[in-house]
Amino acid sequence: MPEAYPNLVAGQRITASLLRSMQPQVARKTADTSMQATTTLALDPHIQFTAEANSVYVFEGWLAYDSDIAADILVGFTTPSGTKGKWTGYGTGTTVISGTSGNATQQNAVSTWGYTVRVEYTDITATRTFGGLNVGNPESILLQGTCRFGPTGGTWGLSWAQAASTATNTTIFTDSQIKAQRIA
């Protein structure tokens, strides 16, 4: 049976607060954020939400980033205690493998022949590493998942860092965003 929130009933008074609770929330980066020389996850200053206790949200988003091939990018979520769920990110794998015109393969090289792509899902409290190319070759990750919040509501959002510490900036760019819709 499809889920929807809130569950409206005949004769219910429609208020601005009720209508707002039915809309998706969108957290969009309004400025670039860079990190360097750190593998410690940090909550992104723009991509965060407030979740109600005992609620369920589905989300999807897009991250535009740039990372040195030696650093890669580590992506995860900060959630309140007791949160359950799964997420996936469709983005560049940690070893870029591309073909050559002679049907050979080459690693860690940008070409018209392509990249490996990460597609597995993971627990909402776990992280995934996505590949970086040479700085100046921006990439992106498509995100989607489900968060089931227990008796503790609160702030949840995108957390990220360099997967390997380097002095080169890893940056998530302006207009990266996640849209979350409460469904229960």
Where are the chain's structural domains?
Answer: 25-182
What is the C-alpha radius of gyration for the chain, rounded to an integer number of angstroms?
19
The two tokens of residue 132 are: 């970086």
The kind and range of the H/E element at 20 are helix 16-21
Tokens of 149: 């919040």
Say whether 95 sits in a helix, a strand or coil: coil
* pLDDT by residue, tens only, the chain of 184 residues: 677 888 888 998 989 988 888 899 999 999 999 999 999 999 999 999 999 999 999 999 999 999 998 999 999 999 999 999 999 999 988 765 556 666 666 555 555 555 677 788 999 999 999 988 777 889 999 999 999 999 999 999 999 999 999 999 999 999 999 999 999 9
This model's pTM is above 0.75: yes
Residue 140, class by beta-carbon neighbours within 10 Å (0-12 exposed, 13-18 middle, 19+ buried)? middle
Closest CA to 166 of 14, 63, 34, 13: 34
27's torsion region: left (phi>0), alpha (psi -120 to 50) or beta?
beta
